[in-house]
Each structure stands twice: as C-alpha cells, then as structure tokens.
Structure 1
C-alpha cells in the first residue's frame, strides 16, 4: 500500500540552540517548513508530531502530541502510526535538505520498513508501517537503540547508486544540531547565502 501521508517529527527543545528545532529560522523560514514542503511536493498529506509542551510555528497541518514522558525518538513514530493506522513516511524536522523525490520513492515502496542507508541507516527519513506496531511498542518501553531496531526488523534499504540518484547523501541527510550546522544548511540550500539567525518561532 502506498503511503498517503508523511509524519514530521518536530521533537522538542534543542539544548544546544535553546529553542525548539521546529521553529528555528533557516533562510527566513521555520526549519520544519522544509520537510513539510518536501512532503507536499511528493504529493503527501502531512501531520506533525511534537513533544507535549513544544511550541510550534504555524505548520498548516494536524498536530499530534507525544506522551508526557516520551524521550525516545521512536515515541513520535509510534504516536503517528497509532493515530493513522497506516504506512507513513517519517521525516525529522531537523533534516531540511531531504529531496521530494526521495520522499516520493519511500511512499511508493511496499515493505513494512524502508530505510535509506548512506551507509548508516537513516530511520528518521524512512517509511514505517503500522503493521510494525506490535514490535515497536515493546522496543519503545525498553529504549532499544533505533538503528539496532531497524536491523532487527529487517528493513529494506535504499542505498548505493539507487540512493545517490536523489543527491549527495552527505547533504540530503545533513542534520542541523547547532549554529554551525544551521549556517552549513543555509549554504547548501542557497550556495550564495550567508548565515541565518536562529531567533524567533
């Protein structure tokens, strides 16, 4: 079954940057706007999953809240899958260079779990199916590492030349964690751009 929707994981407060990552400005737009735009360009309806008290910019999409004590990255995935009961393309909000073509490819796959690998698996830019929930809930309770869980579940990989046709993996999976990362993301998005302010949701 083709995935019809994407779930954007907004997470919570960035300890390094002092703001919720979803609202940090990147070239004048909230960082979460980039995966939302990639999902829309791939023809997917988007929803957003955030920590209980995370402040979000206007995302123009349904917002789900994780359980109050959720800390594992799997929590957002489980929350979204339980809500929809269908396969979803999962996108982290702090990976702003993921191309729509890769999002569309993930949506078209039919395996329960499809994960790009560069060669490290990218489980927060992946297709997850609600059929996996019976195995995901126990893993969430035990805090199993996400990459190990992906291996145990026998994920189908998108790797090598198949992956590189969507772009340089070092760029498309670039994760923004601090001011330096924000500056690099801005340069990758618009090569002539300088740094961008992190202030304001």
Structure 2
C-alpha cells in the first residue's frame, strides 16, 4: 500500500514551500513521511512540477489547478488504493496510517476530515467531477460517504498559518 503525501499547495500563508517549512528542526513533511515508513508503508510525495523535495520519491501533479483533490486524483491514477495524508499534518501516527491501510474500503481516520484517509480507484469518477466543479473537500466527502475509523481529531490537525506553526512548535516542546 502506498501512502501519498500531498504537497501540492503553494504555502502562501506560510511564506513558501509548506512541505519544507521547518518544524522542530526538520521539514514539515518529515513527520508524515516518518509515520508512513514506521507503519511499513511505501511513500510517494505528490507535488507540483517545480517542487524540490530531496531524497523523496515524487509523483508530479499538473501545475493547475491548485486544489487538494488534484493530488488525490493524481495519486489514485498512478497507485490505487492509497492512504492519503497532507504534508502539513505533523501529528499523524504510524498506527492510524496502518489502520487505514488495513481497512477494507474507503475510510477516514477522523470524521469530516479528508486526510488522512484511504481512497480507492473506484472513487475516481466522483473525485474528478468534484475537481472539475472545484467542490470543497467536505462536500466531496459527503458524496463519497467513506467509513470513519474514529481517530482523535488532533490527528488530522494541519499547519496552515504562522500561528499554527508556532502552536505546533509549542506542542513539540511537550510531546516530541
């Protein structure tokens, strides 16, 4: 099973390449990648053509549009089924990624949060239609109706702003 780490966002609110933004002295992307590897799962990063992610296998998504569904569709077109996680989700654990990989069929770790989640190639028509409409991720989830595994909500927390990054740094001081 492949874990697709989605890193196609521009990171404009963080001032640059989000995946490489330092958190605890390591690039933000390092934590979900490490969790996937600790779960015994293969990793591929889905990123824009100009992304520099040394040492990681990269699957290039089209430059446009910039929508999180594009990375998901790109990953499913090349590797399916997949577990998808965002590069800015530092609290994802190996245990929950493994639980998603072992689940039979589409599933989310946390209710109403698209990532981390397990997605199947059979969902591609719905995902492509949602991408064409520029539908929100939550509206798309309602169409897909995946199972929910019941992970704690903080598992899906992401780092989108300088304030989120500062809060994550504080959390790391308490729980590395």
Pairwise CA distance, 1:122: 1.2
Pairwise CA distance, 1:152: 1.3
TM-score (norm 2): 0.92
Unaligned runs of 5+ residues in structure 1 are: 194-201
Determine whether 1:43 maps to 2:40. Answer: yes
Looking at structure 1, the residues matched to 83 and 90 of structure 2 have their Cα atoms a distance apart, in angstroms, of: 15
Looking at structure 2, the residues matched to 12 and 138 of structure 1 have their Cα atoms a distance apart, in angstroms, of: 20
Pairwise CA distance, 1:189: 2.6
Q: Which residue of 2 aligns with 1:114?
A: 107
Where 2:14 maps in the other structure, the secondary structure is coil
- Report the RMSD for the aligned CA atoms in angstroms: 1.7
Looking at structure 1, the residues matched to 12 and 101 of structure 2 have their Cα atoms a distance apart, in angstroms, of: 32
Contact in 2 for aligned 1:97/1:189 (Cα 8 Å):
no
Q: Which of 93, 101, 104 is the equivalent residue of 1:99? A: 93
Q: Cα–Cα, structure 1 residues 109 and 16, in superposed 2: closer, same or farther, change >3 Å? A: same
Equivalent pairs, count: 176
Q: Cα–Cα, structure 1 residues 192 and 49, in superposed 2: closer, same or farther, change >3 Å? A: closer
Determine whether 1:76 maps to 2:67. Answer: no
Q: Which of 116, 133, 140 is the equivalent residue of 2:124? A: 133
- Larger radius of gyration between Structure 1 and Structure 2: 1
Where 2:43 maps in the other structure, the secondary structure is strand
Q: Which residue of 2 aligns with 1:174?
A: 157
TM-score (norm 1): 0.81
Looking at structure 2, the residues matched to 192 and 132 of structure 1 have their Cα atoms a distance apart, in angstroms, of: 36
